[in-house]
Structure 1
Amino acid sequence: MRLLFLLFALVASAAHAGGVDRLKAFIAGARTAQADFVQTVSDKNGRITQQASGQMAFARPGKFRWDYNAPYEQVIVGDGAKLWLYDVDLDQVTVKPLGEVIAGTPAALLAGDNAIEKYFSLKNAGESDGLEWLDATPKNRDTTFERIRMGFKGDALVQMELFDQFGQHTTLKLTHFVRNPSIAPSRFKFTPPKGADVIGE
């Protein structure tokens, strides 16, 4: 099954600070962002089960878009009220209320409102692999994610690691990140293609 959760990684602006301070600086300063991403999913035995790549963009709070280009085409859009998931191969659109979907996920952590510590327990996690790490644990135990790690290099968040209740480990690496670009509002709107099967609305 393809990973359909929303993964967002951005830049924080605090220099010489721990991961928690960097995240808080990001939330205070980054209203929009865009980047390329590579996503790798491993099972509980460490075997790679999924690899995908594409582009992402967001406008806080609650608006985002992920375009998966390879090895399959898929579009995920949050318009501030609803989540739209379009599977190009199946010509199928799934729509859900946004609030029910993103609680306890990286979307809530990075593209949500400023009350992040209401939803996550945050702690600095030291340095490894040349990165400075932050651990975020969802306070809502209903979420699929057990823990989210964010790795900073300098003032940039360049990697995230996600651990779910099924033993899967997802690594997300970002490149060509742009902070606070001008993004057309239409990018965060989605209209189901004519003839597509729409589920949930």
Structure 2
Amino acid sequence: MKQWLTLLIIAGSLQSAVAQTDISAFFRQLQTFNAKFSQTVVQDGKTVQSSIGTVQLKKPLKFFWDYQTPEKMQLISDGKQFYHYDIELAQVTAKPIAEVTGSALIDLLSDKERLDERFNIVHLNKSAIKKDFPQHGRQWTKVADDFYQLTPKQITEENQATKVIIGLSSAQKLRVFYAEDAYGENSFIFNKVKQNQKISDKHFHFTTPKGVDLLGVDVLGG
């Protein structure tokens, strides 16, 4: 019996080590990301928002989320400055990217530390995903083949994600991103994915359109 227990412990340790290596290597080599997305926000077990749009990401910390429904808005970062452009309200809120805390995806894009230094990482198969995430599992497993659960080793922010799920296709494309925090659940499914293709830094440069109110102070003090 002790031998079997020892083997199970060793096997579990090896599986965890492999999972850490696999997903850490994936994010180390991921430099740019371009996709269409569908997003679902769940609070208290109920879906409170469903959105679709497009996204472009570039390390470190550059992103452009273009929400098309139900409300048109853009979330943009040039790596230093963050802009929230509410198109319907004709209003832009600007702040330094350092003040945008608690975002699991921003954390993964920061490249400040290795993933296995910040997270406990476990590989999950499709059966485990369907069992542990009944509200999302069936849809996730249609687009992704390998899943990784990341739980932070330390919680430092009230709105920090307490659990992250990454779903990769057999072609090593990021297809599922899920973050759970004290306020609810955020689930993204990506399609038309393009990874590590050239994206100009100019794409992430934001200029406030004429007639649009600008709130906040930018990093240059303008």
Common fold: TM-score over 0.5: yes
Matched residue, 2:110? 112
Pick from 181, 185, 189 the counterpart of residue 201 of structure 2. 185
Matched residue, 1:153? 169
Determine helix, strand or coil for the equivalent of 1:39: strand
Matched residue, 2:28? 28
Pick from 192, 198, 201 the counterpart of residue 214 of structure 2. 198
Identity %: 26
State the alpha-carbon separation in 2 of the partners of residues 116 and 143 from structure 1.
22
Pick from 134, 146, 150 the counterpart of residue 148 of structure 2. 134
Matched residue, 1:11? none
TM-score (norm 1): 0.81
How many residues align? The count is 182
Deviation per CA, 1:4-29, whole angstroms, max 9, x where unpaired? Answer: xxxxxxxxxxxxx9543332222222
Unpaired runs of 5+ residues, structure 2, are 1-16, 131-140, 218-222
CA 1:124 to 1:183, structure 2 compared with 1: closer, same or farther past 3 Å? same
State the alpha-carbon separation in 2 of the partners of residues 41 and 121 from structure 1.
23
State the alpha-carbon separation in 2 of the partners of residues 116 and 180 from structure 1.
19
Larger Rg, first or second structure (1 or 2) = 2
State the alpha-carbon separation in 1 of the partners of residues 117 and 188 from structure 2.
21
Determine helix, strand or coil for the equivalent of 2:202: helix
Question: 1:13-52, aligned counterparts within 5 Å?
Answer: 19-44=19-44, 46-52=45-51
After TM superposition, the runs of 4+ consecutive aligned structure 1 residues lying more than 6 A away are none
What amino acid maps onto 1:20 in structure 2? Q
Alignment RMSD (CA, Å): 2.1
Instruction: Give the CA deviation at 1:59.
Output: 1.3
Please identify which structure carries the higher strand content. 1
TM-score (norm 2): 0.74
State the alpha-carbon separation in 1 of the partners of residues 18 and 189 from structure 2.
20
Unpaired runs of 5+ residues, structure 1, are 1-16
State the alpha-carbon separation in 1 of the partners of residues 182 and 115 from structure 2.
21
Instruction: Give the CA deviation at 1:77.
Output: 0.7
Please identify which structure carries the higher helix content. 2
What amino acid maps onto 2:43 in structure 1? D
